[in-house]
Amino acid sequence: MSKPWLSIIGIGEEGIAGLTPAARLLLQRATLFYGGQRHLALLPDDGRERRPWTSPMTESFAEIGQLRGQTHKVCVLASGDPFCFGVASVLMRYVPFADMMVIPAPSIISLACSRMGWAYSELEVVTLVGRPLETLHPRLYPGARILILSGSGATVPAVARLVTERGYGAARMVVIESLGGVRERRVEGTAAAWADEAIADLNVITLHCPDTTTGEVPLLPRLPGLPDEAYSSDGMLTKREVRAATLAALAPVPGQLLWDVGAGCGSIAIEWLRCHPTCRAIAIEADPDRCAIIIRNAAALGCPSLQVINAAAPEALETLEQPHAVFIGGGLAEAGTEVLSQCWNALPNGGRLVANAVTLEGERRLLEWHGWAGGSLVRIQVSRVEPIGRRSGWRSLAPVTQYVNTKRTSAVLGGRT
């Protein structure tokens, strides 16, 4: 490692007194400090420059990056472990790691585990610092142990309400304020009966959901194929069985981006996102009313990060970030093979293209494209038992023709209409 000019020091609730000798030495050598007002106030008043975080913080990160090669010894003060949902991972976009010296304090996660007697490997960890409350939804399931990094004292009652509304009101909630400091305090209760009590902004929330097996609480697993009833729709919904097969063909991978073209109610994009917290998706839908439905479904199912674009393909696709996978669920009959061509050309090598058609016109487009570009075609036929008078019988859903292809070459195919 070259001589680091940037030090990032994690500070616990005990303040400067809890720092290691190495961290203290870096503090002494620093000429310029960045951090929150709370951390900067811990420093001795000796005239060295202090710069509190800007809003948004990215302005400060960019400023720090521009200090490279200057005479400053910069020190960033952070909470706990700077790589645990902290500033260090973001600063690496602006400063090479070889220029850094990072000294962590115990993370809030490790401290909370030590207070609760929980194994970190068995936890669901969620941060609600600057993120929507709905992010919590996919982590709620029978028996789940969830550790929530809270945004403020107001986060606690909001979490209690959301958990109760989802049917887990019996979940045990433990809130620990000022974790690791002399003012540490523990407040316990259940989500449904959570008291309206003032909670300090510096807190962590733990949840232990009941091991519900009675069927009273709907199961919404992260595997593809949620119940159709989990979605609001105007009828444009990929049915559960077809949805599971479609996601299997799309093969979600952590960190990768999906285009959901002709998204309907957004079910494919939503279930792609639920597969892993780092998955990303863009839903493209021409109907504004359906866009509103997509946004509601994404929030209700824990995917508020879903980007929704109210526009028609293929024009809407021209400026989007390159996807790793594309699903075309609507618009094939109207846009012809042009939308297939543009989606295929946008994919990198190894990218996946999946398209479903339920009309003869859409199926004809897929047959034409298959003859030109290769890939595979599958007919998916699903039947469900439904009442027929006083008896029961099989009722077939509309058959779906599914096209699947993985890009193995950098060759570009021209569109046809």
**Per-residue pLDDT of the chain in tens (417 residues, 90 and over written 9):** 357 899 999 998 888 988 999 999 999 999 999 999 999 999 988 989 999 999 889 999 999 999 998 888 999 999 999 999 889 999 999 999 999 999 999 999 999 999 999 999 999 999 999 899 999 999 999 999 999 999 999 999 999 999 999 999 999 999 999 998 889 999 999 999 998 889 999 999 999 999 875 667 788 989 999 999 999 999 889 999 999 999 999 999 999 999 999 999 999 999 999 999 999 999 999 999 999 999 999 999 999 999 999 998 888 999 999 999 999 997 787 766 889 999 999 999 999 999 999 999 999 999 999 999 999 999 999 999 999 889 999 999 999 999 999 998 655 555 443
Residue (of 87, 85, 117) closest to 102 by Cα position: 87
User: Of 178, 208, 238, which marks where a domain is finished?
Assistant: 208
Within this chain, do residues 14 and 47 fall inside the same structural domain, yes or no?
yes
Q: Is residue 273 part of a domain?
A: yes
Q: Is residue 20 part of a domain?
A: yes
Within this chain, do residues 71 and 203 fall inside the same structural domain, yes or no?
no
Q: Is residue 92 part of a domain?
A: yes
Helix boundaries (H) for 73-231: 87-91, 108-116, 155-165
> For residue 417, what pLDDT is reported?
36
> For residue 413, what pLDDT is reported?
56
d(C-alpha 283, C-alpha 267), whole Å: 10
> For residue 70, what pLDDT is reported?
87
Within this chain, do residues 63 and 40 fall inside the same structural domain, yes or no?
yes
Within this chain, do residues 331 and 382 fall inside the same structural domain, yes or no?
yes
Q: How many helices (H) and strands (E) does the chain have?
A: 12, 19
Within this chain, do residues 255 and 370 fall inside the same structural domain, yes or no?
yes
- Single-letter residue type at 206: T
> For residue 416, what pLDDT is reported?
43
Q: Which residues pair with 308 in a beta bridge?
A: 283
Phi, psi (deg, nearest 5) at residue 33: -115, 140
Within this chain, do residues 19 and 159 fall inside the same structural domain, yes or no?
no
Residue 332 has, within 13 A of its CA and on its CB side, a CA count of 24
Host domain of residue 172: 109-208
Mean pLDDT computed over every residue of the chain: 92
Within this chain, do residues 240 and 326 fall inside the same structural domain, yes or no?
yes
Within this chain, do residues 243 and 135 fall inside the same structural domain, yes or no?
no
